[in-house]
Amino acid sequence: MRLTRLGGSMASEEGWQMTLKAKSEVIRIGAEAIVSKLEWNGFKLVSKHRVPKPYRMPELDKWVRERRTLHEAKIISDLKKAGVPCPAVVLMDRDDSTLYIQFIEGSELKKALDELPPKLVESVARNLGEIVGRMHSNRIAHGDLTTSNILIDRNGKLYLIDFGLSAVTDDLEELAVDIHLLDRSLESAHHPLREKFMKNFLKGYSSIMGRDFTLRIIEKVKEIRRRGRYVEERRRRS
């Protein structure tokens, strides 16, 4: 196994792998990755292991998984430098396409939102807007910005996770998709809060990205929504 700490390399030791994998508990088996919680020398970590796909040629498969693992680690490290809160990548096992990431003690925003007091919902939404604004001002689109990919800890601090679909981009539409997906995830899970949440989100976003850019991106989000509706309509009719 080849363990790499970001920013430097570590000697490989079989023993580490044993410790890393000894107490792991699966959190989620996704289409692309298995996410587990584990303890390593007293630190709580999550591992994100990209699983082999039998339909891909083995060599290509290994290359794809390794490339996506590296991509996610690189984006997280760039975002941390830019002051966007996301859990740190502690170790990377390139050969096994696995990232070991700081475990955040908290819950998915999706689960927490309904129980938050109304005043807190406003400040969380505004804060999220600032965070996403900071990410976008660094030309990074998250790619899957739903309330399951935002964690909130006990102090109300937010973290963005899951950068497998992220991209470095200058395309307004790619950035607008983030806001569209966030809005959609609120619409499906927390309908009564959606309007207030998005209003405050956009206040925070605009404080970072400026009023003009925010108005332009809102127009783009509306356009994406219209197109989505049109596609759904046609699907229903056919």
Catalytic residues: 144
Q: For residue 202, give both structure tokens.
A: 């956009």
- Secondary structure, 3-state, 129-164: HHHHHHHHHCCEECCCCCHHHEEEECCCCEEECCCC
The interface partner of residue 84, options being Mg ion, ligand ADP, none and the CB cut-off 5 to 8 Å by kind, is: none
**Closest CB 111 distance from ligand ADP, rounded Å:** 9
HSE at residue 141, side-chain half, CA atoms within 13 A, is 20
161 lies in the site for ligand ADP, by CB under 6 A: yes
**Closest CB 191 distance from ligand ADP, rounded Å:** 21
Segment contacting ligand ADP by CB under 6 A, of 130-138, 143-151, 172-180, 230-238: 143-151
According to CB under 5 A, which one of 36, 69, 127, 149 is a site residue for Mg ion? 149
User: Would you call 5 helix, strand, or coil by DSSP?
Assistant: strand
Select the residue whose beta carbon is closest to ligand ADP and give its number. 30
Chain centroid to Cα 78, Å, comes to 14
According to CB under 6 A, which one of 10, 30, 43, 232 is a site residue for ligand ADP? 30
Segment contacting ligand ADP by CB under 6 A, of 5-13, 96-104, 207-215, 218-226: 96-104
Enumerate residues 48-87 that contact ligand ADP by CB under 6 A: 48, 87
Nearest to 203 by CA among 129, 92, 103, 106: 129
Of 11 and 31, the one with the shorter C-beta distance to ligand ADP is 31
Measured CA to CA, the distance from residue 109 to residue 7 in angstroms comes to 31
Neighbour count for residue 41 (Cβ, 10 Å): 8
Number of helices (H), then strands (E), in the chain: 7, 12
Beta bridge partners of 36: 26, 47
103 lies in the site for ligand ADP, by CB under 6 A: yes
Measured CA to CA, the distance from residue 223 to residue 216 in angstroms comes to 11
164 lies in the site for ligand ADP, by CB under 6 A: yes
Residues that bind Mg ion (CB under 5 A): 149, 162
Residues that bind ligand ADP (CB under 6 A): 27-28, 30, 32-33, 35, 46, 48, 87, 101-104, 108, 148-149, 151, 161-162, 164
